Amino acid sequence: MPHAPEPDEDDFDAIARPQPVFHVEQALLGALLLDPHRLGDVTGIAADSFSTATHAAVFAAISTLPPPEPSEHAKNTTWLNQVLATGRERVRGLTASDLHAFIQVCPWPRHAAAYARMVEAEHARRRLQTAAERLVQTVHDASLPHPIQTVLAQADALTTVVDDIAARFPPRSNVLPRSPAPPPAIAPDRTEAVEEEQLLLATATAYPSDIESVQWLLPDDFTLPLHAGLWQCLTALARRREPVDPVTVLWEAQQRGLLDHGSDPREVLRLLAEPAGSVEHWGERALQRSLLATADYTGWRIEAYASDPANTPFQLVVGARRSLADIGAVRTRWQHATGMVPTPRPRPAPATRAGPPTTTAPHTARAARATR
């Protein structure tokens, strides 16, 4: 009679298989356990660069203990025992079998630097993914007293992570990462946004002279295509110094084809005839929503890039910087709208490759001779 598994038995098929970096980390640790002097070839990583607590504990032990004499290390396990004891201070379950397994899976200890570079690349991907997740979470945090400032601070933190990765992995070319799958089709509640955009359009229709004060507002900042189109109609009429009222805006909308998709002219007239508040106030509200929506989409896109292990750090840098540029564009308009003076953020110097030595005299010396 076939054996029926008990409910509490381990379902080995459900256990996630280790990712390739898991095996890379084991190979690196095995190389360093076999040849501790190769630690000098390993750069760009620390204990927190590893994906498991056990791997991090072993690397921390190797990094802190003085390396043994090669001749002594070949004859006894004294140094390995020290690594085991030190590693157990961080992970109690670490065993001698773990160290033996690391050594067994290492193909070539002389490839330690290459293994370390792979570990660094995977750690960079995880860092980028975490920073992008924080940005998205901040956008959706309704408890923030100053959402724009907090979201922009998280965007700056994400940019810093991208710059750090770029310093270690300078983009070789403008090769974008693989396109992520579209986000889940969850219709957001836009009731408040729609109502405020209607008030903005109606108030701008009633006070067209105020449109010039919100030149930083673009059609893309609106949530509905009809509203974006009506804003284009208003700005066009104001720019041409033509009469602005609900009827002239409706006629401009017809000329632009905005009524071709079933929009009721009576609804448009009603929408434009109920002003309230000021154009600048509603414009800032629309721009704020646009900035938060842009930050949300940027964070989601970078997170999707970083979640794909097929994307290299070089590709992640290119894709992330292009996505962050969208936030930068809206941020600049927000600063113009609110009168905020941007604080220059220092950027790291671009990584350069060493070139051949030159015997050409310095530019200043040549300039001095030229003036004689």
- Hey, what domains does the chain have and what are their CATH numbers? 18-107 (1.10.860), 120-177+190-340 (1.10.860.10)
Q: Are 244 and 205 in contact (CB under 8 A)?
A: yes
pLDDT, greater one: 259 or 6: 259
Question: Does the pLDDT value for residue 11 go beyond 70?
Answer: no
Average pLDDT over every residue of 121-136: 97
- What Å distances lie between residue 139 and 98, 147, 158, 297, CA to CA? 43, 7, 13, 10
- Cβ neighbours of residue 72 under 8 Å, at least 6 residues apart? 78, 79
pLDDT band at 354 (very low <50, low <70, confident <90, very high): very low
pLDDT, greater one: 10 or 220: 220
Q: Give residue 347's pLDDT.
A: 53
Model pTM score: 0.81
Average pLDDT over every residue of 330-353: 69
pLDDT band at 128 (very low <50, low <70, confident <90, very high): very high
Q: Give residue 279's pLDDT.
A: 96
| Phi and psi angles of residue 348, each rounded to the nearest 5 degrees, phi first | -65, 150
Max Cα distance, the chain (Å): 104
Residue 117's nearest CA partner among 183, 177, 165 is: 165
Question: Does the pLDDT value for residue 35 go beyond 80?
Answer: yes
